[in-house]
Chains A and B, each alone.
Chain A
Amino acid sequence: MTDGATLPNLTPALEDYLETVLRLVADTGFARVRDIADARQVRPASVSPAMRRLEELGMIRYERREYVALTDAGADAARRVYSRHRVLRRFFGQFLGLPADVAEADACTAEHSLSAATLDRLVQLFEYMEVCPEGRTHLRHFQQCARVNDGASCCTDDCPVVQDLAERKPTMSIADLRPGQSGRVRQIEGQGAIRQRLLDMGLLPDTIIELARVAPAGDPLWIKTQGFELALRRNEASSVLVEVQ
């Protein structure tokens, strides 16, 4: 997808036809001109010129009369168009929280009108949102706000969801958790060696930590995080602030 959204000599309409053929072959195993016409809601007569053009471009070939198959180049091009379509549909649907039919329709329109550079940047944004822990947090907040406020700005202090979250999930140190309780790291307050060691261990903002148990006499603490287990002394553990889960 990184090497461009527009394919040489393909008009938006031809791209749509390629995509349709790809989906029909994937769904039913074959694509006849009649089926293509049905899927695109046009008359079979108007499908034929497009098919001829695609055949000239080496994108499709006729297996038998009426039966259309994608060439390697055609399949490749169709898949690229289709993945662009999927990215946009997911963006409109999952990320912006729009209804499925709106998302589908907008994806169909936008996939032809956006430049390659814009599409690439969008893909990067999605990945960032999905992979970066901060991105995920922001996305979650945005979606909650969007649903509740319906269009109002999400960054204002009067967002009820944000306030509600802040009230329900107080920040405290892991030393104050009860055994069995877990929290999401907000901040590591400590200084010097202990702070660095905890960061090295991957105790970073948004990491989930569970207080498993405490030793006899209440110290040290036994915590579970990221699939491993650590013992920390109480006064050192108190520098790790978490949001109770």
Chain B
Amino acid sequence: MTTALQNDNTAVQPLRVLLAGNPNSGKTSLFNAMTGSHHKVANYPGVTVERREGRWRGAGRDILVRDLPGTYSLLPLSPEERVARDEILGGDHDVVVVVIDATLLRRGLMFLLQVIEHGGNAVLCLNMSDEAHRAGQQIDLVWLEELLGIPVVETAAHRGEGLGELHAVLVGAKPRPRPGLSPEIAAILGGPVALADPDVARMQRLATAADAVIARTLVHAARPDARRWTRRLDAVLAHRTFGLPIFLAAMYAVFWVTFTLGAAPMDWIDAGFAGLGELVVRFWPGSPDSPLLSLVVDGIIAGVGGVVIFLPNIVLLFLCLSLLEDTGYMARAAYLMDRVLSRVGLHGKSFLPLVTGFGCSIPGIMATRTIENERDRLATMMVLPLMSCGARLPIWLLIIPALFPQAWQAPMMWGVYMFGVALALGLALLLRGTLLKGEPAPFVLELPPYRLPTAASVFGRMAERSAVYLRKAGTVILAISIVLWALSTYPRKPQYTVDAEVAAGAAHTPAEIDGMRAAEALRWSAAGRIGQAIEPLFRPLGYDWRIVTASLGAFAAKEVFVSQMSIVYALGDDGDTGDIGRRLRADYSPVTGLSLIVFLLVGTPCMATIAVTRRESGSWRWALLQFFGLTSLAYGLAFVVTSVGGLLS
């Protein structure tokens, strides 16, 4: 064992620390508590495993913390576990902090002993110690340090307890116990065994050693009824009959909260952007016909405003998802849903990525990394864009209220999501039966006790995810809004046909004249020309060039469909975005609306999705298959809707 912990190397070099441990041991909340917001996320080279690193500033010496993926042993079963193993056994660190859920000592110690056995310079962090104490568990820490020969620190990371001591131990400010496993524990282990050998005897020796450590250090065992609240809740929430209806109701509640509570702040944001536009117009120093003013008001403010307006929905959705994750209900949902998902060849663990896909496909696709089996992972990734993402929500909120009666709106919204889910499951089955044939991966899902989520964790995660959306609005969508504004503004039409008609004596109200001028200007612009050029391709679906133009924008980013529509119409009525609905109602039938919903739900996953699929699957083949496969399917389905709808009406 090296002596890196001792403060003999007090140079400016920060101490390099790895955080390792079982999944659900609270490793990540410990990492967040250590580094605050000072961390960056990158990928390990060659694999798609997240590498989270941050700096922990404190007395004595800075610490560079790296959060490893959760792992149950040093025998890897997934890319994440392989990364964790390589990091622990590799030399690029000074200390491995092994984080153990203090309420699950045996399993945690079995992992810790493997790390010690293979020469890791370890520090044991007994996390969730508050929970263990509440359950009546008491451990003799002095004895534990003596037996393991490493420093032991109790923490409750989510409440920030024990962090100071951990820092002191890491920088060597506190004296260390005698190094090396005590002889009696070492004798039980009998020396490290080749890592390629998962045999029962080896695991049994680890378990025996862990049991011996616990037997010698456990002053007071946890009360057997420590999990009684979890058991009572599970008796209802995981009930064989009631579990699924409760789960579906919970999902419905999430969408209800997202859309109903989101309505008021959306109005404020809408009013805010409209007011901002008016302010700019009022105080504009130059001529009111300036192209720059049009760029700012009609392009930037209207375009970005059309996206930011959906921030309340997205924040609320992510808030609900974070709550469900942090309480532990998500694991129950995976348990309840696994039967359905395994029928179509997916995994219970596919559930979380798929649900995340309701927020945004990109984190959803990234979350498929937790699925061990590659075929399960690819199938989940391929169908994930069918989960109606937050960026598509603005489209539904634009089309559904505009084209359907009030009473239909909520069921329609529910229906859109459910249709996407059903189609995703069907496609997954198809994929697993054809391109991705093979045995499903083992399903070993941990069901942690229910926990009261902390505000810091829930809001932190919500903020992080919402920030991704906002950043997109501030960068990609801003740029695209400008490009689309330019495409739809230039070239300018020199003179309008409607002016000639009016001059010839035709009777039009001033509003009608404005609208007709706008329509002419658009048709004349570059965007209008592209849309018109490929319009024949979409005529069987009943789409005109305006929808086609906006759909092209939707490939760049789904929500651009809305900002494009709002620019298209705002150009005609002086930035009053509230009127788009009325315009849509005038121009399109409900059948076209439904067909359009189907087309945009199923087809053309956005550029970013394609790029992430390419990265996560490791090949363009899957990314292109995803794009062309889904778009062809969308075209086919939209055609069916238009044709059937045409026959019925």
- Complex interface bits, A216-230 against B, C-beta within 8 A gives 1, otherwise 0: 111110100011111
Bound form: Cα–Cα A147–B331 in Å: 49
Question: Interface residues of A toward B: which range?
Answer: 35 or more
- The smallest beta-carbon distance between B12 and chain A, in angstroms, is 40
Say yes or no for B441: interface residue by CB 8 A criterion: yes
B35-43, B196-204, B471-479, B635-643: which one contacts chain A?
Answer: B196-204
B239-247, B307-315, B504-512: which one contacts chain A?
Answer: B239-247
Whether A215 contacts B243 by the Cβ 8 Å rule is yes
- Complex interface bits, A127-157 against B, C-beta within 8 A gives 1, otherwise 0: 1000111000000000000000000000000
Whether B336 contacts A196 by the Cβ 8 Å rule is no
A16-24, A34-42, A110-118, A199-207: which one contacts chain B?
Answer: A199-207
Bound form: Cα–Cα A199–B338 in Å: 22
CB-nearest residue of chain A to B216: A131
Picked from B72, B104, B215, B331, the residue with its CB within 8 Å of the CB of A131 is B215
B144-152, B270-278, B442-450: which one contacts chain A?
Answer: B442-450
Whether B339 contacts A199 by the Cβ 8 Å rule is no
Whether B106 contacts A220 by the Cβ 8 Å rule is no
CB-nearest residue of chain B to A199: B203
Interface residues of A in 81-117 (CB under 8 A from B): none
Whether B447 contacts A229 by the Cβ 8 Å rule is yes
Say yes or no for B208: interface residue by CB 8 A criterion: yes
Interface residues of B in 485-539 (CB under 8 A from A): none
Picked from A194, A202, A213, A230, the residue with its CB within 8 Å of the CB of B445 is A230
Whether A200 contacts B445 by the Cβ 8 Å rule is no
Interface residues of B in 303-338 (CB under 8 A from A): 331, 334-336, 338
The residues of A that contact B93 with a CB separation of less than 8 Å are none
Interface residues of A in 188-245 (CB under 8 A from B): 188, 193-202, 204-205, 212-220, 222, 226-233, 236
Bound form: Cα–Cα A233–B335 in Å: 10
- The smallest beta-carbon distance between A221 and chain B, in angstroms, is 10
Whether A201 contacts B103 by the Cβ 8 Å rule is no
Interface residues of B in 103-131 (CB under 8 A from A): 103-104, 106-107, 110
Bound form: Cα–Cα A228–B240 in Å: 20
Picked from A131, A193, A212, A219, the residue with its CB within 8 Å of the CB of B441 is A193
Whether A219 contacts B339 by the Cβ 8 Å rule is yes
Say yes or no for B75: interface residue by CB 8 A criterion: yes
Bound form: Cα–Cα A205–B446 in Å: 20
Picked from B241, B331, B372, B444, the residue with its CB within 8 Å of the CB of A201 is B444
Picked from A127, A131, A199, A231, the residue with its CB within 8 Å of the CB of B198 is A199
Bound form: Cα–Cα A172–B107 in Å: 25
Whether B240 contacts A215 by the Cβ 8 Å rule is yes
Picked from B203, B215, B335, B448, the residue with its CB within 8 Å of the CB of A222 is B335
CB-nearest residue of chain B to A131: B212
Whether A193 contacts B200 by the Cβ 8 Å rule is no
Interface residues of B in 208-244 (CB under 8 A from A): 208, 211-212, 215, 222, 234, 238-241, 243-244
CB-nearest residue of chain B to A239: B442
Question: Interface residues of B toward A: which range?
Answer: 35 or more
Whether A216 contacts B198 by the Cβ 8 Å rule is no
CB-nearest residue of chain B to A2: B183
Whether A222 contacts B238 by the Cβ 8 Å rule is yes
CB-nearest residue of chain B to A228: B104
Interface residues of A in 37-56 (CB under 8 A from B): none
- The smallest beta-carbon distance between A131 and chain B, in angstroms, is 5
The residues of A that contact B348 with a CB separation of less than 8 Å are 220, 231
Whether B200 contacts A204 by the Cβ 8 Å rule is yes
The residues of B that contact A228 with a CB separation of less than 8 Å are 104, 107, 446-448
The residues of B that contact A227 with a CB separation of less than 8 Å are 103-104, 106, 222
Whether B447 contacts A230 by the Cβ 8 Å rule is yes
CB-nearest residue of chain B to A219: B339
Say yes or no for B73: interface residue by CB 8 A criterion: yes
Q: Which of B103, B198, B443, B446 has the most CB of A within 10 A?
A: B443
Picked from B184, B200, B212, B222, the residue with its CB within 8 Å of the CB of A188 is B200
Assuming the contacts A131-B211, A230-B447, asked whether A201 and B335 have C-beta atoms less than 8 A apart, the reply is: no
Whether A213 contacts B215 by the Cβ 8 Å rule is no
- The smallest beta-carbon distance between A198 and chain B, in angstroms, is 7
Whether A196 contacts B77 by the Cβ 8 Å rule is yes
The residues of B that contact A231 with a CB separation of less than 8 Å are 331, 334-335, 338, 348, 443-445, 447
- The smallest beta-carbon distance between B405 and chain A, in angstroms, is 36
Assuming the contacts A226-B107, A231-B348, asked whether A216 and B444 have C-beta atoms less than 8 A apart, the reply is: no
Say yes or no for B342: interface residue by CB 8 A criterion: yes
Whether A220 contacts B445 by the Cβ 8 Å rule is yes
Whether A215 contacts B338 by the Cβ 8 Å rule is yes
- The smallest beta-carbon distance between B103 and chain A, in angstroms, is 7
The residues of A that contact B365 with a CB separation of less than 8 Å are none
Bound form: Cα–Cα A219–B340 in Å: 10
Whether A233 contacts B342 by the Cβ 8 Å rule is yes
- The smallest beta-carbon distance between B559 and chain A, in angstroms, is 37
The residues of A that contact B342 with a CB separation of less than 8 Å are 219, 233
CB-nearest residue of chain A to B72: A200
The residues of B that contact A218 with a CB separation of less than 8 Å are 339
Whether B77 contacts A219 by the Cβ 8 Å rule is no
The residues of B that contact A230 with a CB separation of less than 8 Å are 444-447
Bound form: Cα–Cα A204–B205 in Å: 10
Q: A196-B73, A233-B443, A236-B442 are in contact. List 13 more A-B contacts (CB 8 A).
A: A131-B208, A131-B212, A133-B211, A194-B442, A201-B107, A202-B203, A212-B234, A215-B240, A215-B338, A215-B339, A220-B445, A228-B447, A231-B335
Question: Can you list 13 A-B pairs with a CB-CB distance of less than 8 A?
Answer: A193-B77, A213-B239, A213-B240, A215-B240, A216-B336, A220-B335, A220-B339, A222-B447, A227-B106, A229-B446, A231-B331, A233-B442, A236-B442
